[in-house]
Amino acid sequence: MASRSKGRKAAHLTPQTLADLPIGQRCILDRLDLPEDIGRRLMELGFLPGNEIIPGKRAPGGGPRVFRVDGSEVALRDETAARLYIRRDPESDFIVLA
């Protein structure tokens, strides 16, 4: 039983990003690790630490992925989404995005 709780603890230590999440998995943005100009633009679009973000579908052919944030839907490339670090509750509800 001790090893099981150790595994959970280790999983929480691994930083997760928006790129890691399945469609509909709610999360809270923790921090942005981007150049200042890009980070500022994303914050203007609602990507602020503490805001809830819900990943949506990917564009055909592996293009950008849509994220619902602050009442809007914004498409981000994988390399950008991989630099937005999140917090999430593994038991949080999934949202069905139409």
| Cα–Cα distance measured from residue 47 to residue 68, given in angstroms and rounded to the nearest whole number | 10
| Cα–Cα distance measured from residue 61 to residue 47, given in angstroms and rounded to the nearest whole number | 25
What are 74's two structure tokens? 């914004």
E strands, 8-94, are 16-17, 27-32, 52-58, 65-69, 72-76, 84-87
Tens digits of residue pLDDT in 45-82 = 999 999 999 999 988 888 899 999 989 999 999 999 99
- Please name each of the domains of the chain with its CATH number: 16-87 (2.30.30.90)
Tens digits of residue pLDDT in 5-40 = 444 444 456 679 999 999 999 999 999 999 999 999
Enter the pTM of the model. 0.76
pLDDT of residue 9: 47
Amino acid at 73: E
Residue indicated by tokens 């469609």? 23
